[in-house]
Amino acid sequence: MTFVTPTRLSDGRELIYFDADEESAARHRGPAAARDARGLPARGPAGTVRYDALTGEWIAVAAHRQSRTHLPPADQCPLCPAAPGHLSEIPASDYEVVVFENRFPSFGPDLGELPAAPEWGTTATAYGRCEVVAFDPAHEGSFGSLTPARARTVIDAWAQRTEALSAMPGIRQVFCFENRGAEIGVTLLHPHGQIYAYPFLPPRAATLAARAAAFHAASGGKQTLVGHALASERASGERIVIEGRHFSAFVPFAARWPLEVHLVPHRQVADLSGLTGEERDELTTLYLDLLGRIDALYPTPTPYIAAWQQAPVDPALRPAGHLHLQLTSPRRAADKLKFLAGSEAAMGAFINDTTPEAVAQSLRNAVGRSAGKDRS
C-alpha cells in the first residue's frame, strides 16, 4: 500500500508525497511537517498554444521555460531534499517519491477547453498541467538505479496521478515519461520523470488512437491492435526480450529507433491506474530487468526516452486503448548516436540503422546490472 500526502508550496503549487508505509508518511503530515519557507511570488499566467492549420496540430509557446534550471550542482539541485542553506522544491529533509507541479510548465496551471473549430491564426491559453516526479532523494540516478521497493512506489504514483489528472476539466491525454541522459536533453541529473496532461490529443497519440479504434471496430470489439501485436510477437519469439506472467517486452517488428523496446501487459488495460497490485509487482521486476539489460549493452549509460502510451481520456477511445511502454534510444553503437536528419525530421520517414532481430538477441544475451545500483 502506498500512502499519499498532499500539501502546497509557497506559490500555491500542489506537492504530493508518496510513501510505502505509514511511518514514513507521518513525517509529512501535521504541524511538524516541513513547510516551504521560500516565500515564492505568485505564479505567472499560463503560456499559449497556436494552431497550425497546415497539420491540424496545436503548438505550445512557452518562452518562460528559457529560464529553467540547467544541470545544477548537488547543493543547488531543486529536487534534492531541503537542507540548511538550500531550500529546494521539496521542503522535507527526506522523502521517498514526490510529485509536484512544474514551476516552468509547458501547459497550465489554468484548466479549460480549447476552441472547438480553430483556424489559421487561432491562439488560445495553454491549458493543462505539467508535473515533476522525483523518484528518490539521491542526487544522481534514473529509474533503473532504484531499489525494487522504490520503483514500485513510483509506479503507484504514476497510476494515482494518471487517474487524478484524467478527471480534470479539459484534459484529453495523460503522458508519463522519463528522459535520461544529456544526449536526450535532460537538464537535471536527479532521478526524475515528468507527467504532461494535455488539453488536446498529441499527434503521436492521435495516430495510435485512430489506428487502434479502426482495428478494434474491425475485430468486432474483440481485440486491440496492441494486443494483436503482442500476440504476434509472442508467437514468433524472434524479437521477445523478456516474457513474464503479466507482461512481455519485445523489440517491435518495425522499430524506428536503433534501440527500441515495448513493454506490454498481457491483459488489455487502458492506463496505469487500471493495473492490479500483482501486475504492478511484476512490472517493477521486469522494468528494472529491462533497464539493466539496456545498460549492459555498452560500457557507458545509454540515453533513452521511456514513454508510457496510455489510452486517451475520451470514453469513446478507451475500449481500443492498450497501455504499453515505448522505450527508445538514439544510440546505435557504443560511440555513435542516430540524429533525426532530413528524412526523419522533415518527412517523418524513419530509417533504422539496426535490425530489430539483432537488437532483441543482444538484449536477451545481456546480463543486466542488479537492481538498486546506480546505473547513471
So what's the pLDDT on residue 376?
Answer: 37
CATH topology identical between 3-36+45-203 and 205-365: yes
3-state secondary structure 281-297: HHHHHHHHHHHHHHHHC
Give residue-wise pLDDT tens across range 201-233.
999 999 999 999 999 999 999 999 999 999 999
Give residue-wise pLDDT tens across range 160-204.
999 999 999 999 999 999 999 989 988 888 999 999 999 999 999
Residues tagged in the binding site annotation = 77, 80, 139, 190
How far apart (Å, rounded) are the C-alpha atoms in residues 367 and 363? Answer: 8
Does the annotation count 192 as an active-site position?
Answer: yes
Contact criterion met (CB below 8 Å) for 273 and 159: yes
**Which grid coordinates are listed for 361?**
538477441
Contact criterion met (CB below 8 Å) for 310 and 202: no
Residues tagged in the binding site annotation for Zn(2+) = 77, 80, 139, 190
By three-state DSSP, how is residue 247 classified?
Answer: strand
In CATH terms, 3-36+45-203 corresponds, of 3.40.50.1000, 3.30.300.30, 3.30.497.10, 3.30.428.10, to 3.30.428.10
So what's the pLDDT on residue 371?
Answer: 42
Percentage of the chain modeled with pLDDT above 70? 96
Give residue-wise pLDDT tens across range 43-86.
988 999 999 999 999 999 987 766 666 678 888 999 999 999 89
Give residue-wise pLDDT tens across range 132-142.
999 999 999 99
Domain ranges of the chain: 3-36+45-203, 205-365
Calculate the average pLDDT of the chain. Answer: 94
Under CATH, which architecture does the 205-365 domain have?
2-Layer Sandwich (3.30)
- pLDDT exceeds 70 at position 127: yes
Residue in the block written with cell 537535471: 188
**Which grid coordinates are listed for 255?**
522499430
Query: What's the pTM value of the predicted model, to 2 decimals?
Result: 0.95
So what's the pLDDT on residue 369?
Answer: 58
The residues, any chain, with a CB within 8 Å of residue 319's CB and separated by 6 or more, are: 216, 221
Q: Of 28, 192, 246, 262, which is the active-site residue?
A: 192
Burial letters for 252-285: b for 16+ Cβ neighbours within 10 Å, e otherwise? Answer: beebbbbbbbbbbbbebbbbbbbbeeebbebbbb
So what's the pLDDT on residue 288?
Answer: 98
